[in-house]
Amino acid sequence: MLAYVVRRLGALVIILFGSSYIIYNLTAISSDPLEDLRDSTEPNRDQLILNLTRDLRLDLPPPVRYFIWLRGVLGVFFGRADFGQTREAQPVISEIVGALPITVRLIFVATIVAIVLGIGLGITSALRQYSRFDYSMTFFAFLLYSLPIFWVAVLLKQFLAIDFNDFLVSAQISLPAIVLASVAVGFFWAAIFSGTRKRVLIIFSVAFLGNSLFLSIISSTKWFLNPTLGPILILLLAIGIAFGITYLSVGLENRSALKSALFSAAVGAIIYFPAQLLLDSNRPRVGLLFMLILLIGTALLGSVIFSRIDQDQLFAPT
């Protein structure tokens, strides 16, 4: 066992060393920190280039600079860590420490979302084994798993952050975007409500037309400039989600599960106005914590009220 652990740790060290060496040199070769200064018209341009070359040790080849950097990094074991300096002559370690809390929060939230969605879709696919939904979810799961994470992150940042902020200037959805989104929605609902080929085509057509009309209304009214739903739409959406989750998980014939889901939807609509007050207060985190507790309590209460058969079996004397 000890030999196995030592071999694994040795392989880990070799992989870390090799990957960091390759990434460092590729980054150094593919970028030029002096490019902006060479195109500059400042009178002291040559002095600035000389200073930056000296500070970043650009007079040395990348492999040599890597080992200088590695020596500073390994100093963490002796209390003298040196990760180098940025172009602004600031310690890299301070930049890392400043970004660490946000990174930890992002990783934590992403992990929770991945666990919830992964387990939920896995259970649903298992319940609908060999159906179109199962094949569709398996295909998309393998597709997303095969994509490079850093590339997906860049795409999400570009489309969901930068381009979305530019979109909010006019808040109008283009016709190609409406068609593309409606096709995706049509495939999604056709995969969920599988059946005969005719039924799948009907579901795809209805979902495509409905989503196209919905996005057209949102675009014409510029809803994204002042987004709001209201308690009635919240209730309708909650009821739709309740039916959808029940259909995917245990089927609509399970009346206990459907009633429990509709009970949660009703509670969500009732607390609409109190939730607005909590979230608009000076302590929104307290409101989020209260809503989380209420969510868990509602789920437990609904299971107690509407699962009488399961309770009888659970608490029956042996």
Using the predicted structure, report yes or no on whether residue 241 has a pLDDT greater than 60: yes
Decide which of 298 and 281 is more confident: 298
Of the ranges 4-13, 207-216, 296-305, which one carries the lowest mean pLDDT score?
296-305
Full DSSP string of 115-182 = HHHHHHHHHHHHHTTTSHHHHHHHHHHHHHHHS-HHHHHHHHHIIIIIHHHHHTTT----HHHHHHHH
Residue type, 3: A
Alpha carbon distance 65, 21 (integer Å): 10
Of the ranges 55-64, 229-238, 304-313, which one carries the lowest mean pLDDT score?
304-313
Using the predicted structure, report yes or no on whether residue 261 has a pLDDT greater than 70: yes
What's the alpha-carbon Rg for the chain, to the nearest Å?
Answer: 28
Percent pLDDT > 70 in the chain is 95
Helix pair 272-279, 230-249: axis angle to 10 deg: 110
Mean pLDDT of 22-43: 80
- CA 22-25-31 angle, 5° bins: 130
pLDDT 10s digits, 143-200: 888 888 878 888 888 888 888 888 887 788 888 889 998 998 888 888 777 677 788 8
Residues in the chain: 318
- For the chain, the distance separating the N- and C-terminal CA atoms, rounded to the nearest angstrom, is 45
Decide which of 309 and 248 is more confident: 248
Alpha carbon distance 37, 28 (integer Å): 17
Res 213: pLDDT = 92
Contact 219, 179 (CB under 8 A): no
Res 87: pLDDT = 67
Mean pLDDT for the chain overall: 81
Alpha carbon distance 198, 208 (integer Å): 15
Residue type, 262: L
pLDDT 10s digits, 100-123: 888 898 888 888 888 888 888 888
Given CA atoms 73, 74, 76, 80 in this order, what sign does their dihedral have?
negative
pLDDT 10s digits, 69-94: 888 888 777 767 777 777 676 787 88
Going by pLDDT thresholds of 50, 70 and 90, the confidence category of residue 65 is confident
What are residue 85's phi and psi, to 5 degrees?
-125, 155
Going by pLDDT thresholds of 50, 70 and 90, the confidence category of residue 209 is very high
Alpha carbon distance 248, 245 (integer Å): 5
Res 311: pLDDT = 52
Q: 198, 192, 315, 166: which is closest to 251 by C-alpha?
A: 192
Going by pLDDT thresholds of 50, 70 and 90, the confidence category of residue 251 is confident
Percent pLDDT > 90 in the chain is 3
Alpha carbon distance 318, 316 (integer Å): 6
